[in-house]
């Protein structure tokens, strides 16, 4: 069976609005990964591989970011980026294969969310363990592992706060939340939300962005000759996670999403 061309795939697997979703499309997907995934799709659409199998594989690559980051030096940071980029690629491909084969399932949606939770957590836990300098000759300072885990917990809680809005509305028999309902009702909160959105600092605790930051920190550490920047980054991300968890909760309660 001949493979479909990219031109044949595109209107089916990239229907209108897919790349424009406010919270459902990663910037890297819009920038480059959706074009890469189209080329991968060509080799998978006529196989027996299912979307859910791809989602399982996606999650495996995401979780592998944690042990990858334990490799000392720049090499470990590069492996972490590779793992998260493969996660992102498969995160695009699984949905595209589902659209082409018309194999949709609630289980697939659920698995996709689980994969996102685990990947964000894996990268941040890996960062904390990396900052401990497990393979060094000195005493291991587990404070950094604690801070990395704290950042991971915050990243998970932020996702849970968003997902639980849908759970609460479903249990109350209400329709899914609309985009407009996400806007805070008070002008002060709306301004703060727009400022946070413009700065994008909260995205640093997401797996893709965190892995890229870790690579930058690893390069800086290589120049300096120690783990100063990795440890500084771990502390900063833990702080961002704690602050963002609280602010995100307040933002949800101040909006119309639960009304």
Domain boundaries, the chain: 6-254
The DSSP code for 70 is: T
- 211 and 31 in contact (C-beta within 8 Å)? no
For tokens 């965190």, what's the residue?
210
- 114 and 87 in contact (C-beta within 8 Å)? no
Please tell me the total number of residues recorded for the chain in this structure. 259
The CA distance from 163 to 168, in Å, is 9
Give the homologous superfamily in CATH for domain 6-254.
Answer: CDP-alcohol phosphotransferase transmembrane (TM) domain (1.20.120.1760)
- 127 and 145 in contact (C-beta within 8 Å)? no
The CA distance from 162 to 168, in Å, is 10
Instruction: Give me the pLDDT at residue 21, please.
Output: 64
Strand locations in 174-217, DSSP E?
A: none
Q: What angle do CA 233, 236, 239 make, to 5 degrees?
A: 150
Instruction: Give me the pLDDT at residue 19, please.
Output: 65
Instruction: Give me the pLDDT at residue 236, please.
Output: 97
- Residue 248 to residues 38, 137, 203: CA-CA distances in angstroms? 34, 41, 12
The CA distance from 93 to 99, in Å, is 10
The CA distance from 198 to 192, in Å, is 10
- Residue 47 to residues 28, 128, 229: CA-CA distances in angstroms? 27, 40, 45
Instruction: Give me the pLDDT at residue 187, please.
Output: 54
pLDDT in tens, 233-257: 999 999 999 999 999 999 899 888 8
pLDDT in tens, 143-177: 999 999 999 999 999 999 999 999 999 898 998 87
Tell me the torsion sign for CA atoms 245, 215, 147, 221: negative
The CA distance from 26 to 135, in Å, is 34
What is the token pair recorded at 114? 């689980």
The CA distance from 255 to 180, in Å, is 9
The CA distance from 152 to 123, in Å, is 8
Helix axes 34-41, 6-13, angle to 10 degrees: 120
> Mean pLDDT per 10-residue run, the chain (259 residues)?
89 81 77 94 95 97 98 97 98 95 92 96 98 89 97 96 92 79 52 53 90 98 97 97 94 87
């Amino acid at each position: 069976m001949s493979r479909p061309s990219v031109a044949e795939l595109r209107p089916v697997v990239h229907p209108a609005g897919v790349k424009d979703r406010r919270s459902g499309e990663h910037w890297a997907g819009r920038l480059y990964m959706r074009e890469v995934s189209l080329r991968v799709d060509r080799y998978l659409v006529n196989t027996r591989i299912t979307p859910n199998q791809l989602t399982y594989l996606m999650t495996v690559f995401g979780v592998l970011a944690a042990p990858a980051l334990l490799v000392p030096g720049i090499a470990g940071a590069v492996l972490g980026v590779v793992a998260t980029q493969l996660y992102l690629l498969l995160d695009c491909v699984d949905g595209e294969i589902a659209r082409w084969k018309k194999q949709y399932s609630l289980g697939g949606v659920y698995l996709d969310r689980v994969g996102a939770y685990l990947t964000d957590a894996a990268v941040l836990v890996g960062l904390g363990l990396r900052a401990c300098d497990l393979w060094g000759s000195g005493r291991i300072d587990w404070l950094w592992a604690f801070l990395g885990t704290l950042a991971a917990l915050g990243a998970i809680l932020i996702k849970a706060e968003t997902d639980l809005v849908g759970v609460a509305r479903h249990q109350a028999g209400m329709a899914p939340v609309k985009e407009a309902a996400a806007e805070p009702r008070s002008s002060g909160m709306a301004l703060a939300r727009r400022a946070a959105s413009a700065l994008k600092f909260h995205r640093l605790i997401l797996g893709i962005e965190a892995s890229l930051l870790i690579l930058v920190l690893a390069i800086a550490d290589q120049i300096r000759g120690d783990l100063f920047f990795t440890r500084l980054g771990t502390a900063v991300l833990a702080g961002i996670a704690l602050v963002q968890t609280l602010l995100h909760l307040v933002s949800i309660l101040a909006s119309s999403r639960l009304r």
